[in-house]
């Protein structure tokens, strides 16, 4: 059983990490693989009501890999931690199948409440580097969470979340069969807002220039007459038509 699970974990690494060159490299040089292996042993003991030994194993894993997974956390099939330094997974966290975590991800709780206090992650989820998912709620299937995001409320399936706090920026509604690892190509809502503001400013500047061109501003500057008020460059209007006044020349 455990060797079949190890083969599955190794195959997942080859599927999602182009840097993996050989099985021996994965076995000896991938801390994410080591942390998952330690956790499966510790979780097996935890389910049999052992307390101290599973925690000791998880702390040994933390010391060796820089990844802390509580023995009580439930981890599904096809779980992959890329690089992994700083990853923390709490006691009541539940992680579905085909989930990918990058370095610095936290699946944590809030406050000191008892019971379920950590998130539940669905299937085919990718969580970018440094993201924080905090609280007892559900992250749906086929979700991408951008690097550095802080998620503190439920996220529906087939969505993309970025920002602090996390905001849904895409909702395709089309399930994906395999995890989409391109978490570097997520939309930036702040950048999009700034682009809209710049476009609005450019439009208003253009309208202002058009309005200013209708007035003889240069004539006022030439005469240095502060009492003279700007009038339309072509004169005063009469019945919708514009006529040049002789006293303005």
**What pLDDT was estimated at residue 110?**
81
Crossing angle, helix 2-16 and helix 31-47, to 10 degrees? 150
pTM here? 0.68
Which two structure tokens, joined as six digits, stand for 200? Answer: 């609005």
Distance CA 102, CA 83 (A): 7
Q: What is the pLDDT of residues 166-216, one digit of tens each?
A: 888 776 655 444 455 455 555 666 667 787 888 888 888 887 877 777 665
Peptide bond connecting 165 to the previous residue in cis, omega within 30 degrees of 0: yes
pLDDT for res 206: 82
DSSP 179-239: ----GGG---HHHHHHHHHHHHHHHHHHHHHHHHTTB-HHHHHHHT-TTPPP-BTT-EEET
Burial tier of 194 (Cβ tally within 10 Å: 0-12, 13-18, 19+): exposed
Percent of the chain with pLDDT over 90: 40
What are the tokens at 114?
């008892």
Q: Is 8 helix (H, G, I), strand (E, B) or coil?
A: helix
Q: Which CATH number fits domain 2-191: 2.60.40.1180, 2.160.10.10, 1.10.1380.10, 3.40.50.11540?
A: 2.160.10.10
The three-class DSSP label of residue 77 is: coil
Name the residue ranges covered by the structural domains of the chain.
2-191, 192-248
30's CB contacts (< 8 A; 6+ apart) are: 13, 20
Q: CA 175 → CA 13, 48, 84, 169, 211, distances in Å? A: 22, 37, 27, 16, 51
Three-state secondary-structure class, residue 26: helix
Q: Residue 177: what pLDDT?
A: 46
Per-residue pLDDT of the chain (249 residues; tens, 9 = 90+): 677 888 888 888 998 888 888 899 988 999 999 999 999 999 999 999 898 999 999 999 999 999 999 999 999 988 999 988 999 999 999 999 999 999 999 999 887 777 889 999 999 999 999 999 999 999 999 999 988 899 999 999 888 888 888 888 776 655 444 455 455 555 666 667 787 888 888 888 887 877 777 665 555 555 555 555 545 545 444 444 544 444 444
State how far the alpha carbon of 237 is from the alpha carbons of 191, 231, 232, 245, in Å: 45, 10, 8, 10
């Amino acid at each position: 059983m455990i060797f079949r699970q190890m083969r599955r974990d190794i195959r997942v690494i080859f599927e999602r990490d182009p840097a993996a060159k050989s099985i021996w490299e994965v076995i000896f040089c991938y801390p994410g693989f080591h942390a998952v292996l330690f956790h499966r042993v510790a979780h097996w003991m935890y389910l049999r009501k052992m307390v101290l030994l599973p925690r000791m194993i998880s702390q040994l894993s933390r010391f060796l890999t820089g990844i802390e997974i509580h023995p009580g956390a439930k981890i599904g099939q096809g779980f992959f931690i890329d690089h992994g330094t700083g990853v923390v997974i709490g006691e009541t966290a539940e992680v579905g199948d085909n989930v990918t975590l990058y370095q610095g991800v936290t699946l944590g709780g809030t406050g000191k409440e008892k019971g379920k206090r950590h998130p539940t992650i669905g299937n085919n989820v990718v969580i970018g580097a440094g993201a924080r998912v905090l609280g007892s709620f559900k992250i749906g299937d086929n979700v991408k969470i951008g690097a550095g995001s802080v998620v503190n409320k439920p996220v529906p399936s087939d969505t993309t979340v970025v920002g602090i706090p996390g905001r849904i920026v895409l909702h395709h509604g089309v399930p994906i069969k395999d995890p989409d690892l391109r978490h570097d190509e997520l939309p930036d809502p702040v950048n999009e807002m700034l682009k809209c503001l710049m476009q609005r400013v450019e439009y208003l500047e253009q309208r202002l220039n058009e309005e200013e061109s209708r007035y003889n501003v240069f004539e006022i500057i030439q005469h240095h007459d502060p009492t003279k008020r700007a009038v339309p460059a072509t004169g005063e209007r009469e019945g919708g038509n514009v006529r040049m006044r002789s006293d303005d020349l």
